[in-house]
Chain A
């Protein structure tokens, strides 16, 4: 008994960043007691929490398992956690004025962002199907509420409802699949599943495939792969724009983390059973995401389809499955966090007061009045399309290179052609901005925190695009492979 208690106590040290986040979120929540608006103070508290979480995160020993093998700190989980923290920081900065302009209370908003990040941390480190499921739900429920946060508009609750119903449905799939896998192997631990799944009696292998496919469907919902993507455009359009930015990167990173953990970690031994299915999904996602984005008039909807397409590219890393491909996938996620949050920052700055700037048409003639902001948007669009010298080019280059190394010639060809299609819709925004005949009349000003986000993302996009070595070295060093 003492032995068990001491193991729980020593494992708790590994959980320190999550504990910091949950305590910070609860403190921020108390801001709701004050009648006066304290948005700046609460945002400051949230940022402080994120910074303390980052400090504790870097002090947690790597390559340790705790809680009887249910929790694991490795380089991969550290990188995913850093990405989610980084995205959380940018989104908090972007939200301050957006939430003030729209007159919603900020305490619960920031608290839910912090709670969802704690869920993502647990997802990144969870080493067991049950723990993965509970942390996935912690993340998902926070995000459902955040999507519905602007509840006095008509589209925000509707979007959240669709997202919630489909999300609950996909969680049901996950549990069903996990129960089949548990029934066959008698364990939910990722490392034990890896050993035991290939040993399942031949007669039962069909049943194992059924369980694996159910989990694949569920995670396909979470990262919005092709036939399971329908919630994404509606949820992205209906959510408050900073939350759209958040959803497009952070939960996706965490869901990809459990995707890698489950499919490479636990189901790696039965790789040839699920690889063709995932390859087909990825193929359809890249094609559908890019072609559907062409038709969109709303920029949030367009970026939603673009994020579906990017999830398709990133799933190439899982299909390839080699350590190099996983590293390339993480690099792509880092790149995506810079360029996508950057593009959303411009949309948020433009549309925070009255919703003007949510349509692509609204950008007509912006370059004459705001040449610098338009140039920055141009660079983000170039980066999303994967044109050098931007971070997006290097992300695509290494990801596709790693996939080629694993022999995925056909899928990479499709991915490259799909990226070429994506140029069309990203450049429609650019074309609108640089059209001369129209007078751009919208007046807006940038606050300090918005300037900071735009500065950080544009510097990251260009700096890594020109000089990528430090980022590669950092990822390589942390990954330890």
Chain B
């Protein structure tokens, strides 16, 4: 039974990873912006699945809540608010020049070659229950003790992003 579940989850990871690449390509190549956003939603959910298979249930939940739940909705709002049919003739998306194709292919070759020659050893083993209490407790313990400084900086960073968004969108007030 244990061996079977190992075997299954092993292939499940490859399946989910492959599928997430397919949906990621869908974001880039679909002509309709709404289709792009929907592909993105599927990519985010599949990435959450990868986290889950590596026993990072906290990360998977955050991924679902923040990306699939929050950010995708924002994307959809923007897509609906912007009159995209007016921009169609501008060819804002799906424009690729020869240079960018060559650069992307070169990057794929470099990354692929590096990964190909890497002695990864055995296929990834699923390590169950790294810490007692699950990954939520582990994340909390590291985040609020060892990495308290970047956590606090992130709070200021979010404040600045908020201020910036208000500055850039508020209407001019006569002074």
Contacts and interface: CB of A to CB of B under 8 A. Distances in A.
B156 A118 contact: yes
21 contacts: A8-B148, A35-B175, A70-B149, A103-B175, A105-B173, A105-B175, A108-B163, A111-B163, A112-B164, A112-B167, A118-B156, A122-B153, A130-B150, A134-B150, A134-B153, A137-B157, A141-B160, A141-B164, A157-B168, A204-B118, A206-B117
A206 B113 CA distance: 10
Contacts of A67: 148-149
B93 to A, nearest CB: 14
A201 B118 CA distance: 11
Interface in A148-201: 148-149, 151-152, 157, 201
B149 A108 contact: no
Given A145-B167, A145-B168, A149-B167, A131 B161 contact: no
A206 B116 CA distance: 11
Given A103-B175, A108-B163, A148-B168, 9 more contacts: A35-B175, A70-B149, A71-B149, A141-B157, A145-B160, A145-B168, A206-B114, A210-B111, A210-B114
B168 A130 contact: no
Contacts of A115: 156, 160, 163
Contacts of A36: 175
Nearest to A160: B168
A86 interface: no
Contacts of B173: 35, 105
Interface of A: 4, 8, 11, 22, 29, 35-37, 67-68, 70-71, 103, 105, 108, 111-112, 115, 118, 122, 128, 130-131, 133-135, 137-138, 141-142, 144-145, 148-149, 151-152, 157, 201, 203-204, 206-207, 210
Contacts of B172: 152
Interface string B100-119: 00000000001100100111
A339 to B, nearest CB: 30
Contact of A108 (B148, B150, B157, B167): B167
A68 B172 CA distance: 46
A138 B114 contact: no
The main secondary structure of chain B at its interface with chain A is helix
B154 interface: yes
Contacts of B145: 4, 8, 68
Contacts of B153: 122, 131, 134-135, 138
Nearest to A118: B156
Interface of B: 110-111, 114, 117-119, 145-150, 153-154, 156-157, 160-161, 163-164, 167-168, 172-173, 175
Contacts of B117: 203, 206
Q: Which of B145, B156, B175 gathers most chain A CB within 10 Å? A: B156
B164 A134 contact: no
A266 B111 CA distance: 23
B114 A207 contact: yes
A478 B63 CA distance: 45
A144 B114 CA distance: 35
A229 B80 CA distance: 35
B163 A204 contact: no
Nearest to B153: A134
A145 B156 contact: no
A112 B150 CA distance: 19
A145 B164 contact: yes
A151 B163 contact: no
Given A103-B175, A151-B168, A29 B150 contact: no
B146 A68 contact: yes
A37 B119 CA distance: 65
Contact of A207 (B118, B150, B156, B163): B118
* 6 closest Cβ pairs, A-B complex: A145-B164, A67-B149, A203-B119, A134-B153, A134-B150, A138-B157
A133 B157 CA distance: 11
B149 A141 contact: no
A275 B156 CA distance: 35
A138 B163 CA distance: 12
B160 A112 contact: yes
A187 to B, nearest CB: 11
Contacts of B156: 22, 115, 118, 138
A332 to B, nearest CB: 28
B147 A70 contact: yes
Contacts of A111: 163
Nearest to B117: A206
Contacts of A149: 167
A223 B119 CA distance: 35
Given A142-B164, A145-B164, A145-B168, A131 B149 contact: yes
A70 B118 contact: no
B87 to A, nearest CB: 16
Residue of A131, A134, A149 most packed against chain B (CB within 10 A): A134
A192 B167 CA distance: 41
A131 B111 CA distance: 27
Most B-side CB within 10 Å, residue of A11, A145, A152 = A145
A70 B119 CA distance: 32
Contacts of B161: 141
B116 to A, nearest CB: 10
Contacts of A71: 149
